[in-house]
């Protein structure tokens, strides 16, 4: 009982941190002290000071404002990506697991083919062909990340197919769509949601990586990976250009990973035993 109480406490603690991050993203226009796109060349590469707490970049833009707005860009990209791969992958996995036969064979061979390539390398290749922008970066990572959810959805569906309540639903004449919607999806949803929550931190890193390489967000968009790319040219003369965006990525990824772990702990039925 004590362990369960501790798990819930940690979950709500990390949830507060997650809500705080989301608050920064939502209320960025009111929290940012300057316009993140406002270039003032006479203030180029100013060190952190009372006027600019995180300093300025090579165009004289306030780094703190760009990091706050970067939370909005990075989280919008990440949540969109996680939603796409969760919905598409789960749908394909559930379909393969429930239908079986040739449908299962064909879909799983596609999954195996996608898994034969290193994910991030394939994503870079796809993003390079599509062109560098936010939408193409999301599509590139979605193309290589949905397979995890397809395998998970198929595995969970195969287990449920053997349960008596599914056999009873089939015997009573329920249609496959009704069985999938009313019986299978509600039972696999908790595991899928936990997996998606734990993937948020990973996707933030991968999207930032694509932006750092020039395949994601493009100037002048305030995005943490892009800010790292812009700051690496001045790493010796203006280290704050890489320090603060890097710290933002580290903190946000750590919080989302801890939140995902705590969510898994409280939703794991075996922890109550």
pLDDT at 272: 42
Instruction: Please report, for the chain, the start and end positions of each structural domain, with discontinuous segments joined by +.
Output: 2-25+61-272
pLDDT at 19: 96
pLDDT at 118: 82
Give the model confidence (pLDDT) of 159-195 as tens digits. Answer: 888 777 777 777 777 777 777 787 888 888 889 999 9
Mean pLDDT of the chain: 88
Helix (H, G, I), strand (E, B) or coil at 56: strand
Using 50, 70 and 90 to split pLDDT, how confident is the model at 24?
Answer: very high
List the beta strands (DSSP E) in 154-214: none
Q: b/e per residue, 90-106, with b = 16+ CB within 10 A?
A: bbbbbbbbbeeeeebee
CA distance 70 to 24: 10
Q: With 60 as the cut, is the pLDDT of residue 143 above it?
A: yes
Distances (CA, A) of 225 to 60, 230, 246: 19, 9, 8
Chain centre to alpha carbon of residue 170? 37
CA distance 250 to 170: 49
pTM: 0.89
Please state which architecture CATH assigns to domain 2-25+61-272: Orthogonal Bundle (1.10)
Query: Which residues are registered as beta bridge partners of 62?
Result: 56
CA distance 165 to 162: 9
- Asked if 143 contacts 210 with a C-beta cutoff of 8 angstroms, the reply is no
pLDDT at 270: 52
Residue 45 tokens read as: 């590469």
Question: How many helices, marked H, and strands, marked E, lie in the chain?
Answer: 11, 0
Using 50, 70 and 90 to split pLDDT, how confident is the model at 273?
Answer: very low
CA distance 77 to 75: 5
Give the model confidence (pLDDT) of 6-20 as tens digits. Answer: 888 889 999 999 999
């Amino acid at each position: 009982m004590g362990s369960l109480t501790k798990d819930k406490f940690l979950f709500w603690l990390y949830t507060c941190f997650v809500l705080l991050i989301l608050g920064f993203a939502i209320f960025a226009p009111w929290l940012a002290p300057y316009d993140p796109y406002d270039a003032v060349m006479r203030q180029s590469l100013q060190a952190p000071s009372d006027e600019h707490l995180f300093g300025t970049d090579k165009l004289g833009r306030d780094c703190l404002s760009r990091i706050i707005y970067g939370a909005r860009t990075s989280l919008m990209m990440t949540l969109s990506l996680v939603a796409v791969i969760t919905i598409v992958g789960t749908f394909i996995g559930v379909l393969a697991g429930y239908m079986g036969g040739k449908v299962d064979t064909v879909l799983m061979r596609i999954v195996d083919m996608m898994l034969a390539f290193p994910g991030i390398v394939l994503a870079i290749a796809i993003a390079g062909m599509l062109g560098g922008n936010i939408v193409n970066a999301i599509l590139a990572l979605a193309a290589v990340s949905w397979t995890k959810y397809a395998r998970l959805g198929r595995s969970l569906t195969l287990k449920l197919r053997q349960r008596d309540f599914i056999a009873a639903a089939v015997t009573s004449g329920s249609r496959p769509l009704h069985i999938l919607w009313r019986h299978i999806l509600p039972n696999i949803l908790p595991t899928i949601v936990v997996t998606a929550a734990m993937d948020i931190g990973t996707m933030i890193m991968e999207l930032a990586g694509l932006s750092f390489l020039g395949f994601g967000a493009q100037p002048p968009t305030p995005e943490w990976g892009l800010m790292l790319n812009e700051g690496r040219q001045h790493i010796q003369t203006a280290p704050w250009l890489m320090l603060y965006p890097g710290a933002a990525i580290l903190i946000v990824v750590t919080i989302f990973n801890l939140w995902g772990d705590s969510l898994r702990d409280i939703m794991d039925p075996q922890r109550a035993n």
